[in-house]
Amino acid sequence: MKILIPLVLFAFAVSADVFAQERWEAPAEADELANPFKHDDVEAVDQGREVFTMLCASCHGDRGDGTGAAGQAWNPPPADFTSADVQSQSDGALYWKVSEGNPPAMLVYKNLLTEEELWQVVTYLRQFRTE
């Protein structure tokens, strides 16, 4: 965790124009990854919320709508997890994106979080559905 703070500060110091890019897609094989948790698993949701609050909310916002203060300078902006675009993606695609990141804007979390924690975050992201 100690390395996370300097990485985040470095990312904020770099011009937002550097991050302009096309829509970020997970590889097709990511869709085959299976979430070991059901979307209504209360314990998984709670654990995912804890990780999200600590690592993701500053950019993606407490409501997951992409309006976190730290992410306002990004171009493109942080993902809005309440959007149909994000919610239509498979759990595997979301897992891949959280795990692999999209440096330098979106950090790589596969080395900071366990596989279980990554899936818990994905399970929590499903709570942002607005349907």
Query: How remote is the C-alpha of 21 from its chain's centroid?
Result: 17
- Which pLDDT value is given to residue 8? 47
pLDDT below 70 — which residues of the chain? 1-22, 131
Burial of 8 (0-12, 13-18, 19+ CB in 10 A): middle
CATH 3.40.50.300 fits 4-15+26-128, yes or no: no
Distance between start and end Cα atoms, the chain:
35
CA dihedral 63, 66, 71, 77 (to 10 degrees): 180
| Structure token pair of residue 2 | 């100690």
Domain ranges of the chain: 4-15+26-128
Which helix or strand (DSSP H or E) is residue 115 part of?
helix 115-125
